[in-house]
Amino acid sequence: MTLKAGILLFDSVNELDFIGPFEVLANSDYLLRVPLFPGMEISPERLDVQLIARTVRPLTCEKGLSVCPTMAIADCDALDILVVPGGSGVDGVMADEETLQWIRAVANGCTWLTSVCNGVFILAAAGLTRGKKVTTHWAALDMLRKTRLTGPVLDGFQYVRDGNLVTSAGVSAGIDMALWIAGQVTSPERARLIQRTMQYDPAPPYAADV
């Protein structure tokens, strides 16, 4: 069985918002191809990960990285997992009714609908967060509350689940969220192997208590 995951891209998307979840989810299949853990039995689920945008033209991300989407939204009508990242380009997506309509359509069949950082504002603009507990980047919490397009906006969590909606806090929190999703669609053991493959064990050298 192959599950389909799509990560929405747009101009001025934050790089780590989408690269973090991509690295996690793409590593799920990588473990099946590369024998990093010889002799260890790995659950057989496949996960196809696509980078999806309005078109497949190259996009310029928030910090200047150029990236090529692998699929246009017109060519994708169903997903098991949708990841909506954030970045300074979020306002443009919120005003793009064609993309919002696509998000609403694929969200109907998603097992997991997710966002990273201020990507939750896109889901809110699509009408998919009403009455739902959510979170976002610490600097956008009050702004999200003022929209009145969600249920409770929670602080102090890396990610928040309400039904099949999973929203994460800022930037690197998307990695934690994606690891949890990977554990749900495959197994917690496989998610642990993904984490080990990435050598993801955060230990920042300087405290960020500002």
Task: State the catalytic residue, choosing from 61, 68, 76, 117.
Answer: 117
pLDDT digits (tens, 9 = 90+) for 148-163: 999 999 999 999 999 9
Q: What is the CATH number of domain 2-117+172-198?
A: 3.40.50.880
Active site residue 117: yes
φ, ψ for residue 167, nearest 5 deg: -110, 140
pLDDT digits (tens, 9 = 90+) for 47-80: 999 999 999 999 999 999 999 999 999 999 999 9
So what's the pLDDT on residue 210? 65
Separation CA 75–CA 149 (nearest Å): 29
So what's the pLDDT on residue 123? 98
Separation CA 49–CA 79 (nearest Å): 10
CA dihedral 176, 182, 185, 187 (to 10 degrees): -110
Domain limits of the chain?
2-117+172-198
pTM of the model: 0.96
Name the band, by pLDDT with cuts 50, 70 and 90, for residue 35: confident
